[in-house]
Amino acid sequence: MLKKSLIIDPYDDRPRMWMFDDYLEVIVWYQPDQTIYGIQICYDKMEEERALTWLHTGSYTHSIVANENTAPGKNLTQTLTNGGYFDKETLKTEFETRSIHLEPELRKLVLSIIIAANVP
């Protein structure tokens, strides 16, 4: 099941909230007026991690998430490269199963983003 973090408000970027488990990571970015700026859904974290990103303008991107070890004992740096296979049905099913405890409006929005995604 997805666990939800508090909204984090970094001084140099948009406020954001994370929801995560062993398969999914959902990041919600907020605008200053608290409306949603964008949502990124990282999935299949243990195998071939990919990310579906949606912005409030209606744009979508789908990316492969690559982990790069920058130095021994340091955190991994993640980079996004456009592309990768988009398995919409599996992502939809996994999100539906793992998000049952989220607020209904947020859950419905994320599901609609997954369903409407038209990425290669």
Token digits of residue 82: 């456009």
The pLDDT of residue 74 is 54
Helix (H, G, I), strand (E, B) or coil at 112: helix
pLDDT digits (tens, 9 = 90+) for 33-72: 989 999 999 999 988 999 999 999 999 999 999 876 555 5
54 versus 79: the higher-pLDDT residue is 54
Q: Rounded to whole angstroms, how far apart are CA atoms 100 and 103? A: 8
The pLDDT of residue 77 is 63
The pLDDT of residue 26 is 96
The pLDDT of residue 80 is 86
The pLDDT of residue 75 is 57
Report the range of poorest mean pLDDT among 2-6, 46-50, 78-82, 89-93. Answer: 2-6
At 108, give phi and psi (nearest 5°).
Answer: -65, -40
Place of tokens 């907020």: 30
